[in-house]
């Protein structure tokens, strides 16, 4: 039961009344109110009980403490030991941190200061976006066939920006060799190998920055692949000396035909000089194309 509006005037003096700290006038004034107000009577009773009990607590003794000064000294010694242990741990931690920092500093010095920048793994392998196979100048740029297939021509297509032609090339591959699921699994046909070799050469040119020539070679190989798909035999382009001299592309798609000894004869035009090879060996074909000096000049 809360105090009403009239009772709020008595609230401040209620505690004094309950603890008998109020003056005589206040006592009489409060008593007159409490006699006719039940809520204030209850409040006053509660205050009287509370104040009496608090006074009893004041006079009561508390249970005796079990600890003394000797215990305190022991506790202080333990505390000191803990602090010293903590400082030892901190010292060890500082030493370990300093050592680690030193090692890191030495590493940084070796990497950037003394030996110069260390080449990354991709750098040491020579792989760059423009040269994904890591080929260096004068090195065979042929990639494993399986790797070539796995790449799905994406590096070259992104460089040459010929996605439609790449798709056509892939479909041509599948048409030429329908049972072939991957380059590393089945032996591709001769025409198929020629097309792949041309693409590889185009990629090699691209790796050496000869983008225009690579594009040209790639376009020609695409023409050849379309010819293979359509079933028409490819012909070596007939060019005049003047045309060959002004030709920006140094390599022309080889014409393939039967050799006299029953093998395969390929005819190339490299830097305007027509060359031919009579061997049908797939492994050496690329080498001959890249190094025309090995071929026999007509």
Partner 1 sequence: MLAGREAWMHNLDEQLVARCHAGELDAFGQIYARYEQQVYRYAYRLLGNKEDADDVKQETFVRAYQAIGKFRNDSSLQTWLLKICGNLCRDRFKSWENRKIEYHAEYRHDLACPQSHGADPHAIVERAERTEIVLKALQSLPLPQREIIVLHDIEERDYKEIGAILGCTPISAKLRLFRARRSLQDRVRSMLS
Residues near partner 1, by CB under 8 A: 15, 42-43, 45-47, 49-63, 65-67, 69, 71-73, 75-76, 79
Nearest to 220 by CA among 241, 239, 245: 239
Q: How far apart are CA 93 and CA 87, in angstroms?
A: 10
For residues 36 and 38, which CB has a smaller minimum distance to partner 1 in the complex? 38
For residues 46 and 94, which CB has a smaller minimum distance to partner 1 in the complex? 46
Q: How far apart are the first and last CA of the chain?
A: 123
| Least distance (Å) between residue 5 CB and partner 1 | 17
| Least distance (Å) between residue 94 CB and partner 1 | 23
For residues 49 and 96, which CB has a smaller minimum distance to partner 1 in the complex? 49
| Least distance (Å) between residue 3 CB and partner 1 | 11
| Least distance (Å) between residue 56 CB and partner 1 | 6
| Least distance (Å) between residue 43 CB and partner 1 | 6
Residues in the chain: 298
For residues 72 and 146, which CB has a smaller minimum distance to partner 1 in the complex? 72
For residues 5 and 38, which CB has a smaller minimum distance to partner 1 in the complex? 38
């Amino acid at each position: 039961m809360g105090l009403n509006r009239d009772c709020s005037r008595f609230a401040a003096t209620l505690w004094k009344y309950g603890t008998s700290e109020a003056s005589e006038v206040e006592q009489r004034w409060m008593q007159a109110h409490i006699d006719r107000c039940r809520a204030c009577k209850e409040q006053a009773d509660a205050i009287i009980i509370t104040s009496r009990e608090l006074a009893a607590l004041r006079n009561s003794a508390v249970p005796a403490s079990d600890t003394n000064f000797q215990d305190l000294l022991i506790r202080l010694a333990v505390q000191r030991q803990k602090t010293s242990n903590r400082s030892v741990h901190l010292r060890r931690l500082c030493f370990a941190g300093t050592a680690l920092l030193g090692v890191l500093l030495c590493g940084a010095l070796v990497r950037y200061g003394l030996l110069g920048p260390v080449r990354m793994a991709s750098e040491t392998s020579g792989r760059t976006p423009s040269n994904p196979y890591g080929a260096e100048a004068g090195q065979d740029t042929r990639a494993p066939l399986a790797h070539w297939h796995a790449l799905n021509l994406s590096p070259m297509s992104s460089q040459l920006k010929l996605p439609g032609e790449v798709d056509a090339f892939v479909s041509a591959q599948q048409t030429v060799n329908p049972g072939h699921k991957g380059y590393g699994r089945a032996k591709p046909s001769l025409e198929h190998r020629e097309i792949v070799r041309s693409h590889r050469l185009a990629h090699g040119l691209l790796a050496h920055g000869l983008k225009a020539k690579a594009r040209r070679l790639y376009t020609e190989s695409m023409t050849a692949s379309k010819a293979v798909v359509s079933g028409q035999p490819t012909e070596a382009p007939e060019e005049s000396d003047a045309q060959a001299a002004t030709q920006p592309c140094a390599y022309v798609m080889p014409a393939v035909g039967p050799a006299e000894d029953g093998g395969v004869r390929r005819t190339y035009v490299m830097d305007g000089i027509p060359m031919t090879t009579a061997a049908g060996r797939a492994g050496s074909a690329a080498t001959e194309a890249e190094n025309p000096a090995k071929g026999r000049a007509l």
